[in-house]
Structure 1
Amino acid sequence: MQSGEYTELKAFYAVAEEGSFSAAARQLRISASALSQIIRRLEDRMDVRLFNRTTRSVALTEAGQQFYQRIRPALATLESAFHELKAQSGTLSGTVRIHATHMAADTILTPFIGQFHQDFPDIVLDVVAEDAVIDITAAGFDCGLALGEFVQQDMVAYPLGPELKMTAAASPAYLEKYGAPQTPADLQHHQCLNWRYMAEKRIYRWEFFQDDHWISVAVNGPLITTRRELALSAALQHTGIVFWTENMLQPWLDSGKLIPLLQDFCPPFLGWHLYYPKHRHTSGALRAFIDALRQFYPRP
């Protein structure tokens, strides 16, 4: 393969991944017009249209999609080889694409990211935070951060902390006015602060363990939000019952501003995990990220 052909393939791969000429041009550090010329040269040489272009969007043609699926593993192997070679010379660079839930990004990455940048200043972490369960391989991510129950069976998984526990809680003023629920069914008679999965547009059903099995309860109340922090604030203002992980509510539980409820129905469950595909070749940048995260969060 000549160097010009490799440049064309990298350009094609970047546009296919980003779905945008401007975003791909920024990634490749060239102008959008130069990138457009490279893609046009590739299409002319192969005598096939690879992208359908409009003024607002770029999409792969059927031939482009087939070509993308064929070259993607090969390019990943080449990039991995380049990164490994750089690692041997003492320099690591590249981009690690990470899919994480909002809570995982806040809880796991926020304390870690500064130290990682100091140790690996030439590695870019491209983080997409959304509360959705996806196939990270099909979506083009290198790794993911999610609760253990959502990690696919064919992934390498590493726990990044202890088990978690959900907790329902309300302020003393709310409980004085409405009383405390004794079973999950009692929540039907209470003001509950709901949380919505933004990616899936559905309201989360509160989960409890009762009579040796898990149950989910649809609750009602004066608030539906995609931000659990807003639900917490509402609970502290005596508006209703909040349902969140115990560690996130702990400061207010310790201070007595919130009182835990239904604890007998809230056993622990698998906590945050790093997971990634079982690739034969892992890029130096991804390997550095995995090793650094595992060192920062020793196995509990």
Structure 2
Amino acid sequence: MRGAEFAELKAFVAVVDRQSFVRAAESLRMAPSSLSQTIRSLETRLGVPLLVRTTRSVAPTEAGVRLYTRFRAAMLEMDAAVSDALERRDEVAGTVRLHAPRLAVQTFIEPILGEFNACHPDVVLDISVNEVSLDIVKEGLDVGMRLGESVDRDMLAVRLGKPFRTLAVASPEYVRRHGAPKSPADLRNHRCINWRQPGTEGLYKWEFFKGGQWFSVAVEGPLITSHKDLALAAALQGVGIAFWADYRVQPFLEQGSLVALLERWCALHPGWFLYYPRQRCSAPAVKAFVTFLRKAWSPTDGRGKLPRTP
């Protein structure tokens, strides 16, 4: 198979994987117009249409499905073979494509960037900071970071840091003016700061624990945001009650600029995890990154305690 033919087939797989010419072009680092021409060249060479295109979507034809199923499996096998060969090298090199929410990057990645680069100068970290949950395999990514309850069971997972609690917090001035809720049900009578996960329409319901069971409470208030730093800033200014990770609000609790509310209803969550599909384990760069993160943030082997950030 000539190089151009392989490139055409690889481009075709990328389009089917992402169901989008734009996203596929981004992953291949080429212009969408060039990618479209590549696919047309492949269809012309094979003499059969492979994709059905509309203004809103793209999907494989019956012939496209057959080609995709067999060639994608061959591509995975070739990637594994290349990774196995690279493992024989003395130096670790390659690109690690990571997807993670901003808070996870801020907490676990920012503090170790210098150390990791010093240990592995030939590894490129391609980090996508995005709050929207996505399928890292489908998007062609290597690793992701999520809260433990959100990690798919078929993924390999590494705990980062310790479990944490999400606390309801407010400024002393807010409590002086409005009082403190005695139970989660009382939040319905308070001014709460709502959070909407990017990419979703509904508002997050605050989760509490009582009698061995989790339950959620829908709250209302003067502010809705998809940025939790903004929610914290609003709470500090007395706008209302915010709900956030204990390790993020702890410095303000110690300073007295915030007070914790409803603590006996706030139980531990599993915490953050690094996760990746099993077939990515053999890639040297990915293995080096996972090993480094495990040593840096394992509750037993690494720093364990989460860093405080003002």
Query: What SS does structure 1 have at the residue aligned with 2:268?
Result: coil
Cα separation, partners in 2 of 1:131 and 1:3, compared to 1, 3 Å: closer
Aligned-partner residue type, residue 73 of structure 2: P
Query: What SS does structure 1 have at the residue aligned with 2:25?
Result: helix
After TM superposition, list the pairs within 5 Å mapping 1:274-285 onto structure 2.
Answer: 274-279=274-279, 282-285=282-285
Match of residue 21 from structure 2: 20
Query: What SS does structure 1 have at the residue aligned with 2:168?
Result: strand
Match of residue 220 from structure 1: 220
Query: What SS does structure 1 have at the residue aligned with 2:6?
Result: helix
Cα separation, partners in 2 of 1:115 and 1:71, compared to 1, 3 Å: farther
Of the structure 1 ranges 136-145 and 13-22, higher mean CA displacement relative to structure 2 is found in 13-22
Of the structure 1 ranges 263-272 and 69-78, higher mean CA displacement relative to structure 2 is found in 69-78
After TM superposition, list the pairs within 5 Å mapping 1:110-121 onto structure 2.
Answer: 110-121=110-121
Cα separation, partners in 2 of 1:48 and 1:97, compared to 1, 3 Å: farther
After TM superposition, list the pairs within 5 Å mapping 1:10-49 onto structure 2.
Answer: 10-17=10-17, 19-20=20-21, 24=25, 27=28, 38-49=38-49
Match of residue 286 from structure 1: 286
Displacement over 6 Å in runs of 4+: 30-34
1:229 matched to 2:233: no
Match of residue 83 from structure 1: 83
The alpha-carbon deviation at position 44 of structure 1 amounts to 2.5
Aligned-partner residue type, residue 151 of structure 1: V
Cα separation, partners in 2 of 1:188 and 1:77, compared to 1, 3 Å: same
1:238 matched to 2:238: yes
Aligned-partner residue type, residue 263 of structure 2: Q
1: distance between equivalents of 2:117 and 2:207?
38
Query: What SS does structure 1 have at the residue aligned with 2:111?
Result: coil
Match of residue 61 from structure 1: 60
Match of residue 146 from structure 1: 146
Aligned-partner residue type, residue 177 of structure 1: R
The alpha-carbon deviation at position 239 of structure 1 amounts to 1.1
Normalised TM-score (structure 1): 0.86
2: distance between equivalents of 1:138 and 1:23?
11
After TM superposition, list the pairs within 5 Å mapping 1:98-113 onto structure 2.
Answer: 98-113=98-113
Of the structure 1 ranges 90-99 and 204-213, higher mean CA displacement relative to structure 2 is found in 90-99
Q: Structure 1, unaligned stretches of length 5 or more?
A: none
Aligned-partner residue type, residue 283 of structure 2: S
Cα separation, partners in 2 of 1:66 and 1:190, compared to 1, 3 Å: farther
Match of residue 161 from structure 2: 161
Determine if contact 1:231/1:242 at 8 Å carries over to the other structure. yes
Determine if contact 2:142/2:280 at 8 Å carries over to the other structure. no
Of the structure 1 ranges 128-137 and 281-290, higher mean CA displacement relative to structure 2 is found in 128-137
Of the structure 1 ranges 222-231 and 73-82, higher mean CA displacement relative to structure 2 is found in 73-82
Query: What SS does structure 1 have at the residue aligned with 2:97?
Result: strand
Query: What SS does structure 2 have at the residue aligned with 1:89?
Result: coil
2: distance between equivalents of 1:188 and 1:284?
52
Match of residue 263 from structure 2: 263
Query: What SS does structure 1 have at the residue aligned with 2:127?
Result: strand
Query: What SS does structure 2 have at the residue aligned with 1:182?
Result: coil
Aligned-partner residue type, residue 276 of structure 2: Y
Q: Percent identity?
A: 42
Cα separation, partners in 2 of 1:251 and 1:51, compared to 1, 3 Å: same
Match of residue 194 from structure 1: 194
Aligned-partner residue type, residue 60 of structure 2: T
Cα separation, partners in 2 of 1:15 and 1:285, compared to 1, 3 Å: farther
Cα separation, partners in 2 of 1:72 and 1:121, compared to 1, 3 Å: farther
The alpha-carbon deviation at position 59 of structure 1 amounts to 3.0
Of the structure 1 ranges 16-25 and 117-126, higher mean CA displacement relative to structure 2 is found in 16-25
The alpha-carbon deviation at position 52 of structure 1 amounts to 4.9
Determine if contact 1:25/1:35 at 8 Å carries over to the other structure. no
Query: What SS does structure 2 have at the residue aligned with 1:208?
Result: strand
The alpha-carbon deviation at position 111 of structure 1 amounts to 2.0
Normalised TM-score (structure 2): 0.83
Determine if contact 2:156/2:275 at 8 Å carries over to the other structure. yes
Deviation per residue, 1:129-178 (Å, 9 max, x gap): 33344443344432221111111222211101101111111111111111
Query: What SS does structure 2 have at the residue aligned with 1:145?
Result: strand
Matched length: 298
Deviation per residue, 1:257-291 (Å, 9 max, x gap): 00111110111120101112233863223222212
Aligned-partner residue type, residue 74 of structure 1: A
Aligned-partner residue type, residue 21 of structure 2: S
Q: Structure 2, unaligned stretches of length 5 or more?
A: 301-310
